[in-house]
Structure 1
Amino acid sequence: MTEAPVRAAASRRRSVSKVTDSAPSHGELVELVGAASSVADHSGLRPWRIIEIRGDARLDVGRAIARAGGAEGEAFDKLAQKPLRAPLLVAVVVSRRESRKVPAWEQEATAAGVAHLLSLLLHEAGWGVMWRTGVWTRSPEVAEAHRLAPEEDLLGWLYVGEPAGDDDRERKPVDAEALISSL
């Protein structure tokens, strides 16, 4: 039996930490974000948005991360350079909407679903992707650098670029049976 395309894509997906300076174009990103918008979304609220970060804007993000981390001197410079590890950063933002039916946690889950589906679509299109998060995503300094509104939070960044080498490592097998329970 042939493996279904979605299952095959999910099985091949890997986080790619080393990428070159090549990245998808704005147009390609728009197309993939459009496809990722098919994620489950109770009441069609679209409680998310994407921020495309390229060029020197990556340094602005890095400096905000360094300020949030309280870094100084050489440690500041080192931390501020981290966003330069990829030519494109895709910030995924949960943008909560007023709703009596859809609680905030569900809106955040929708935004996380978009991030995951977008990372899968980017990977399937041949791009290397690493979803990076951390304590700084919820810091005031980083929120300001991303111009987030009060009802928004940053979920993290997809670091995107052309893979810097072949990485055909097999994933560690998961005991799926141990993760399933019954009532």
Structure 2
Amino acid sequence: MTSVTEFLLNRSSQPRLTAPAPDRATLEKAFACAARAPDHALLRPWRYLVIEGEGLEQLGNLFASTCPNNADESEIEKLRRAPLRAPMIVVGIVSPSEHPKVPEVEQLLSAGTGMSFLELALQEAGFGVMWRTGPIAYHPAVREGLGLSEHESIIGFLYTGTVAMEKPRVPRPDVHEFVSDWPPERP
């Protein structure tokens, strides 16, 4: 196996992150990796927002603003504190275009692959990452607050920073559980 394969087999999400976050040179290289995602017709159907420092508090306030008026104060506070779980968050955004040969789903897959490449590049640089979504990623107030256009969607919040504490390894399924041959062999 190559070093890339070994790296992929050992990849894991890290929920406990602390400062420092990736520096600008590391981020630039990681975004260059993200731009290597397969991209039919070179549409570049992605963009990213980097949020750190005071921006994390503003993002927390934006998250908290999505709570209904009758929400419990602890629920509001949980959303307000959520972005503070890492020193940096990269918001992945799919920004599809109309194209006669490239359906929107292919553009979404391209943007998701770019986000995954970004995640892997940051991990290879020694940082921990956690890709988060949940209902907050699809809330209209969050989309609007982050300045997304009507045709854009959030594909994830990539929390990143220095790993504070390694999490235990997660068991992975056996390949035979999700791979089969087609057409199936006849008995």
- Give the TM-score normalised by the residue count of structure 2: 0.90
Query: Which letter does structure 2 place at the counterpart of 1:159?
Result: Y
Task: Give the whole-Å Cα distance in 1 for the aligned partners of 2:53 and 2:75.
Answer: 22
Q: Which has the larger radius of gyration?
A: 2
What is residue 30 of structure 1 aligned with on the other side?
Answer: 28
What is residue 41 of structure 1 aligned with on the other side?
Answer: 39
Task: Give the whole-Å Cα distance in 2 for the aligned partners of 1:27 and 1:9.
Answer: 22
Say if 1:163 and 1:72 are closer, same or farther in 2 by CA, change over 3 A.
same
Shift of 1:92: 0.2
Shift of 1:26: 2.1
Which consecutive unaligned segments of at least 5 residues does structure 2 have? none
Shift of 1:75: 2.8
Task: Give the whole-Å Cα distance in 2 for the aligned partners of 1:36 and 1:9.
Answer: 17
Most deviating of 127-136 and 22-31:
22-31
What is residue 85 of structure 2 aligned with on the other side?
Answer: 85
Query: Which letter does structure 1 place at the counterpart of 2:32?
Result: G
Task: Give the whole-Å Cα distance in 1 for the aligned partners of 2:75 and 2:33.
Answer: 39
Task: Give the whole-Å Cα distance in 2 for the aligned partners of 1:118 and 1:9.
Answer: 14
What is residue 175 of structure 1 aligned with on the other side?
Answer: 174
Query: Which letter does structure 1 place at the counterpart of 2:159?
Result: Y
Task: Give the whole-Å Cα distance in 1 for the aligned partners of 2:140 and 2:121.
Answer: 30
- Give the TM-score normalised by the residue count of structure 1: 0.92
Task: Give the whole-Å Cα distance in 1 for the aligned partners of 2:122 and 2:4.
Answer: 13
Q: Kindly, what percent of the aligned residue pairs are identical?
A: 34
Q: Note the alpha carbon deviations across 1:107-126, whole angstroms, 9 max, x for none.
A: 11111111111111111111
What is residue 13 of structure 2 aligned with on the other side?
Answer: 15
Q: Note if 1:112 corresponds to 2:118.
A: no
Task: Give the whole-Å Cα distance in 1 for the aligned partners of 2:123 and 2:67.
Answer: 30
Please identify runs of 4+ aligned residues in structure 1 that moved more than 6 A: none
What is residue 52 of structure 1 aligned with on the other side?
Answer: 50
Shift of 1:161: 0.5
Task: Give the whole-Å Cα distance in 2 for the aligned partners of 1:39 and 1:24.
Answer: 21
Quote the RMSD (CA, aligned, Å).
Answer: 1.5
